[in-house]
Amino acid sequence: MVKFLPLKEAVADNLHDGDTVAFEGFTHLIPTAAAHEAIRQGFRDLTLIRMTPDLIYDQMIGMGMARKIVFSYVGNPGVGLLRRARDAIENGFPRAIEVEEHSHAGMANAYEAGAAGLPCAVFRGYRGAGLAAVNPNIKSVTCPFTGEVLAAVPAIRPDVTFIHAQKADRKGNVLVEGIIGIQKEAVLAAKRAVVTVEEVVDNFDDLHPNLTVLPSWTIAAISVVPGGSHPSYTHGYYERDNAAYLEWDEIAADRDRFQAWIRKYVIESSADDFAGRVGHLRKAA
Amino acid sequence: MSDAGNLGFTPNEMMTIAASRALKSDDVCFVGIGAPSAACNVARLTHAPDITLIYESGTIGTAPDVLPLSIGDGELCETAVTTVAVPEMFRYWLQGGRISIGFLGAAQLDKFGNINTTVIGDYAHPKTRLPGGGGAPEIATSSRQVYITMPQSKRGMVEKIDFFTSFGHGDGGDHRQRLGIDTAGPTLLITDLAIWKPDPITKEFTVVSLHPGVTRAQVQETCGWTVKFAEALDETPAPTELELKTLRDLQARTKAAHQGTAKGKAA
């Protein structure tokens, strides 16, 4: 049964040291508040899975929480590089991390295979690509019908997946809309799923029947955190804070400035502070 | 726009506009972020109003008023014909053969159109860890054709790339076919100085058109391999007033929009 919990409890109940965890959201609906709660609780030795590590994994890697990252684009979208992740990969600071790198197609297919209960994903990919030579989890299979050689990657099966979504109803069903990314697959592939939402509504009776709704029984815990995806965005609620992404490039460039930022905006803050960070990004009514 | 010089436009503006001209209204274009995104939207706002622009976030047929900073900005979804999940994007639409043009940028490029956006140096111990491939490895092999756009530099255009993020023509010739890739691969390279096309046999990129005021020596000085020039070398037509105005207006709207969210708070 899904539980409505304060974010602190939802994270403490579902994430553990050494877990394989996905915080998903493809540019849109990135679960920043959940990631910051994980930083406050100081988990160690995590395997972090995410197609686009983005700011949240830059922050978690910079805090030394990751043993390994699995990803397909380790950049600050439209801005440049992720400098804490770079420091870890290039210099082993604050600790060396293992890297498992895929393409977006590889990760998307692997999540889908996880949701589908398959051991691996099969697709037409990685042809001529250097990743196949450096990632032993990229293999090939031959189609038994046509003889075509196709790429194969293992299914992704996180211990726990965190996502952010627009809203839940009182029963704990969750609506995701806009750029829906990989969230549905990431939730269904995981042993446990935790969702932060902007708000809870009485029911979903008036919704279009084909919207993406995750039934309550696919979710372990829901926490209401308005603004919880900032500086990413929530379609229908507030816009992406592109200026914050530009600013992050400077913050993350310096180890001390990064630590000071984490102290102020993560360690000494709480989930309740997110609502105030998106006020200026809400569209005028 | 600064530095427009006595030609009235900058090399980067010429690059974006030359790239935009390569696109047609009936193209279905998978748009890489950065320079390709500007070119694709200038095409849509000028001579190719019906072009279908697709970003890897799943937005199909999008028509943003400002250039997105990321591939998943909200406006892409709000203006799209439809928005699909990321697995569907890569499985049905890209792998399914629906994309006519994959439009990519590059950090490092070789003369056969192979692209590196992964690492500078050794993969296991990189000198510089770049963002990596994202959607590009499969865009490069599943799109029917690939266009590439990047400003020229000796660091960017190199004899040998450090990592094969996205396969172009490999070692040249029929290398794609030998790997079972049945799409055309890179058929056009637009830089800030010239337009390049692959030789029909060797697949080596060859300069077919110089932008106005550009010399062969300038192209060679900013390229890390020995440049081949076509026998009949064209001059790229200069940007029209409409093209320049469209691009500059788009960039001004974009700049205002991205700074508009700045206001001294926490990220």
Mean per-residue pLDDT for B85-94?
A: 98
Closest approach of chain B CAs to the CA of A107, in angstroms? 9
Nearest to A75 by CA among B193, B177, B136: B136
pTM of the shown model: 0.95
Binned at pLDDT 50, 70 and 90, residue B262 comes out as very low
Task: Tell whether the model's pLDDT for residue A185 goes beyond 80.
Answer: yes
Of A27, A248, A251, the CB nearest to B57: A27
The structure tokens 């992406």 sit at: A240
Contact check, Cβ <8 Å, A124/B138: yes
Contact check, Cβ <8 Å, A280/B72: no
Binned at pLDDT 50, 70 and 90, residue A227 comes out as very high
Assigned token pair, B131: 């963002």
Mean per-residue pLDDT for A201-220?
A: 94
CA distance B143 to B130: 24
Binned at pLDDT 50, 70 and 90, residue B264 comes out as very low
Q: What pLDDT score does B258 carry?
A: 79
What are the angstrom distances between the C-alpha of B156 and each of A90, B34, B123, B150?
21, 15, 18, 8
pLDDT tens digits, one per residue of A93-102: 999 999 999 9
Q: What pLDDT score does B71 carry?
A: 84
Contacts of A95 (CB under 8 A, 6+ apart): A64, A88
Mean per-residue pLDDT for A134-151?
A: 98
DSSP letter for B156, please: T
What are the angstrom distances between the C-alpha of A284 and each of A238, A280, B256?
10, 9, 18
Q: Set out the domains of chain B in order of their start, with CATH numbers.
A: 5-256 (3.40.1080.10)
A271 within 8 A of B256, measured Cβ to Cβ? no
Under CATH, domain A3-102+157-279 is a member of which superfamily?
Answer: Glutaconate Coenzyme A-transferase (3.40.1080.10)
Task: Tell whether the model's pLDDT for residue A254 goes beyond 70.
Answer: yes
Of B123, B131, B179, the CB nearest to A127: B179
DSSP letter for B32, please: P
Closest approach of chain A CAs to the CA of B181, in angstroms? 7
Q: Could you tell me the residue ranges of all domains in chain A?
A: 3-102+157-279
Test mutation, A73, A185, A229, chain B, max B CBs within 10 A:
A73
Mean per-residue pLDDT for A259-271?
A: 98
- Omega into A94 within 30° of 0, i.e. cis? yes
Contact check, Cβ <8 Å, B69/A124: no
Task: For residue A97, give the chain B residue with the closest CA.
Answer: B124
Task: Tell whether the model's pLDDT for residue B2 goes beyond 60.
Answer: no
pLDDT tens digits, one per residue of B131-149: 999 999 999 999 999 999 9
Assigned token pair, A160: 């726990």
pLDDT tens digits, one per residue of B232-256: 999 999 999 999 999 999 999 998 8
Task: Tell whether the model's pLDDT for residue B267 goes beyond 80.
Answer: no
B92 within 8 A of A114, measured Cβ to Cβ? no
Task: For residue A269, give the chain B residue with the closest CA.
Answer: B266
Q: What pLDDT score does B40 carry?
A: 97
Mean per-residue pLDDT for B165-176?
A: 98
Of B33, B59, B132, the CB nearest to A101: B132
Classify the complex by whether its ipTM is higher than 0.90, answering yes or no.
yes
CA distance A29 to A228: 8
pLDDT tens digits, one per residue of A58-108: 999 999 999 999 999 999 988 899 999 999 999 999 999 999 999 999 999
Nearest to A30 by CA among B62, B54, B267: B267
A and B: number of Cβ contacts within 8 A: 215
Mean per-residue pLDDT for A14-29?
A: 97
- Omega into B126 within 30° of 0, i.e. cis? no
